[in-house]
Structure 1
Amino acid sequence: MTHAEYLLIRRFGVLDGLRAIAILLVFTAHLRGDLFAVLHGATGVTLFFVLSGYLITTLLLREEDRTGAVDFASFYVRRTFRIYPMFLGVIALYCVLILGLGMDAERRDLWVDNLPYVVWFPEHLPYFRTTDAYPAFSGAWSIGIEEKFYLVWPVLGFLLLAAWKRARIPVLAVIAVASSVTGFSDDLVYLAPYQNLAFGAIVAVLLHRERTYAIVATLARPRNLLAVAVVAVVLQLATGTAVYIYGDLYGLHGLVIALVLAGLVTTHSRHVAWLSSRPMAFLAAISYTFYLIHGFFVNAVEMAVPEDWGRPGSLLSAALALGLAVYASWIVHRWFEEPLRLYGVALSKRMAERRAARRAAPAPRETVSA
């Protein structure tokens, strides 16, 4: 694929496959028992971080090329309507279940204590806990990480560095190195995921520049892509918990995923077409809603299926929970998440059109009276 062809791509179908794999990994991480432990499903979040860093940066780079500058107001409106309706809706649901209906009574006080921080700092939920129990909705920690990235990186990379575009890679490299160091500190470990967002953003910048595209795009060659994919799978399956956020291979795992991503978005290989298939695209479309609500169905099904049924019971509960969560996510996505996302897109366009009209309007003439 040439650089010109790459710049013409408006939707990277292969990334639907990565997003689908990521959400299925996360799902397995929340199942009881050890049936799916070998998959190390918690690393699905690493995939999400790399994807987010790449996609957001690519969108910003292309807007900058197309219009000369990023429309920050429109960007933040779109992000707000993409993230917050579902996020706040799930928080409200937890409040109804825990505070209104008295469910999960043993963690009620923990939920109340953490509620003031949930909207902006959900990444603190699994970390700054006061007991051995995790607060409800602690799985939202990754949303907090991405919130901060969406808030800071566009301003840093496309406003403060607008006149120094060559500084973007060094700045991202500093972010990656600094956040990787925090992974070795118990107090700062939840800053470590920013390295994966930075890896994705670095890939986006390198592929956007014609000079560096030719180098990075060598990963699109089938043998090279297969090699980095094999390394990613080995890290995923054969290194135990070393690829988790506390692990020594956490950063390396994210870096290799970024290399796989770089190869996938620049290859013409038919061997990766399955990543763009309709089932993968469907799972990718509902992935955000699924991420936020699948825990409800996992918990409900596992309460109904006795734990002493062993592995057959684990398989049954996993299948039932997956089916129910996918169906519910599709309903919520279709009738709630997607309409509000599209409203945000339309609103951002109207805002941009109004600003353009004001700039184009002729200045009023001054009249001088005798």
Structure 2
Amino acid sequence: MFFALSGWLITSLLLEEVAKDGSANLGAFYIRRVTRIAPMYYVTMVLYIILSLAQLIVKKDGENWHQMLNALPWIATFNSEYRTVGAGDIFGHAWTLGVEEKFYVIWPIIFVVFRAKTVSAFILSCAVAFFLTYLAGFDPGPIRGYLGLGFGAALAILAAQRHAVISLLRRPVVAVVSVVCIAGFHAASIVHPATAWHVLTSFSTAFLVACLWYCDSSWVARGLSWAPMAFVGRLTFGIYLLHVLVMNVLLKGGMAKFGQSLDWPIAFIVVYGASIPVAYAFYRVVERPCINFGRRLALTRFARAEGAGSPG
């Protein structure tokens, strides 16, 4: 779902900037992306390093520490999807941000250079995605990642070029159908795991996000605008990064120490519930200040560029 959301959001923002200003300021774009993602990502990486080292010193268990040392070059460079088997699976979910970051770096350049040549942009994007998945040994993760990003980006471009598409997306029923499809495909992925279900979920998510973008009158949009949902929504990046650490501390550390275990539905509720306040603390201390700094820096850079280009 996040891949499709990113594909739609980044492309739509680029399209809006071009429509408003005649071009996209890639420098400002990259500043906002770096300050949005890198600080929380690297803070999480440091937490993994500290906890792995603490486990080595306190418990004399060096497995995670050795995994961290082997995985660090991949993790630190946003290339976790290419890590070797010897690097283990510590901070394993970082692979998704490896895929995301390559999209953030490469796609805006293709968009700016080929924005008047949709077919050329499509062919080049497919070639780049194929090459990146080839480097990953055609692992299912990057495949569904780039497909999901592609669904979101393609639908954003299609909507910008075809008013009939926007008219379709403004129908509340499309959002409802998208939610039903997402729930069905996700359930199928649990019962019969397969990459195809994830791809179909991304495809449906692209339509859901687009509907929410153009139509805020559906019950889906109203539900997602509910204050508690919006609050958790602001924390999702931190929850995503930190939830495995929270899970390990609570389930593998605290409860296992007392010989206790939880069934997975209860474990899910406990871990997710505990991840919210942890993510909120990091949101206030790290994430939000860095986002605001990035926005100010991007605005300053844009203003200076405008001033340098003006005759006065």
- TM-superposed deviation, 1:240: 3.9
Cα distance change of structure 1 residues 186 and 100 upon mapping to structure 2, 3 Å threshold: closer
- TM-superposed deviation, 1:248: 3.4
Q: How does 1:171-186 map to 2 (within 5 A)?
A: 171=123, 174=126, 178=130
SS at match of 1:93: helix
Pick from 336, 344, 347: which aligns with 2:294?
Answer: 344
Matched, 1:108 2:58: no
Tell me the distance in 2 between the aligned counterparts of 1:150 and 1:144: 10
Matched, 1:277 2:226: yes
Pick from 248, 271, 281: which aligns with 1:299?
Answer: 248
Cα distance change of structure 1 residues 218 and 320 upon mapping to structure 2, 3 Å threshold: same
Farther off after superposition, 267-276 or 50-59: 267-276
Give the residue type in structure 2 aligned to 1:204.
Answer: A
- TM-superposed deviation, 1:99: 3.1
1:32 equivalent in structure 2:
none
Tell me the distance in 2 between the aligned counterparts of 1:317 and 1:300: 12
Structure whose alpha-carbon radius of gyration is higher? 1
SS at match of 1:196: helix
Contact 2:39 2:287 in 1 (8 A): yes
Q: Deviations 1:134-179 (Å, cap 9, x if unpaired)?
A: 3321111111111100000000111x214x2433774488469958
Tell me the distance in 2 between the aligned counterparts of 1:169 and 1:237: 34
Q: How does 1:64-75 map to 2 (within 5 A)?
A: 64-75=18-29
Tell me the distance in 1 between the aligned counterparts of 2:85 and 2:32: 32
SS at match of 1:111: helix
SS at match of 2:86: coil
Matched, 1:208 2:170: no
Farther off after superposition, 230-239 or 148-157: 230-239
- TM-superposed deviation, 1:259: 2.2
- TM-superposed deviation, 1:52: 0.5
Cα distance change of structure 1 residues 263 and 270 upon mapping to structure 2, 3 Å threshold: closer
Matched, 1:191 2:142: yes
Structure number with the higher helix fraction is 2
- TM-superposed deviation, 1:325: 1.4
Tell me the distance in 1 between the aligned counterparts of 2:191 and 2:99: 21
Cα distance change of structure 1 residues 223 and 320 upon mapping to structure 2, 3 Å threshold: closer
Cα distance change of structure 1 residues 310 and 114 upon mapping to structure 2, 3 Å threshold: closer
- TM-superposed deviation, 1:130: 2.2
- TM-superposed deviation, 1:57: 0.7
Tell me the distance in 2 between the aligned counterparts of 1:61 and 1:117: 32
Tell me the distance in 1 between the aligned counterparts of 2:121 and 2:163: 14
Pick from 145, 148, 170: which aligns with 2:99?
Answer: 145
Give the residue type in structure 2 aligned to 1:295.
Answer: V
**Percent of matched pairs sharing the same residue:** 26
Tell me the distance in 1 between the aligned counterparts of 2:246 and 2:111: 40
Q: How does 1:296-335 map to 2 (within 5 A)?
A: 296-303=245-252, 304-306=254-256, 314-335=264-285
Cα distance change of structure 1 residues 179 and 259 upon mapping to structure 2, 3 Å threshold: farther
Matched, 1:124 2:78: no
Tell me the distance in 1 between the aligned counterparts of 2:234 and 2:120: 30
- TM-superposed deviation, 1:101: 5.6
Contact 1:123 1:140 in 2 (8 A): yes
Matched, 1:85 2:39: yes
Q: Which runs of 5+ in 1 are unaligned?
A: 1-46, 363-370
Tell me the distance in 1 between the aligned counterparts of 2:274 and 2:179: 31
Tell me the distance in 1 between the aligned counterparts of 2:79 and 2:184: 31
- TM-superposed deviation, 1:220: 3.6
Q: Deviations 1:62-91 (Å, cap 9, x if unpaired)?
A: 111111111111111111111111111111
Give the residue type in structure 1 aligned to 2:201.
Answer: H
TM-score calculated relative to the size of structure 1: 0.73
- TM-superposed deviation, 1:254: 1.8
Give the residue type in structure 2 aligned to 1:229.
Answer: V
Q: Which runs of 5+ in 2 are unaligned?
A: none
Give the residue type in structure 1 aligned to 2:202.
Answer: G
Give the residue type in structure 1 aligned to 2:236.
Answer: S
- TM-superposed deviation, 1:308: 7.0
Matched, 1:166 2:118: yes
Tell me the distance in 2 between the aligned counterparts of 1:172 and 1:230: 33
TM-score calculated relative to the size of structure 2: 0.85
Tell me the distance in 1 between the aligned counterparts of 2:128 and 2:166: 18
SS at match of 2:85: coil
Contact 1:175 1:198 in 2 (8 A): no
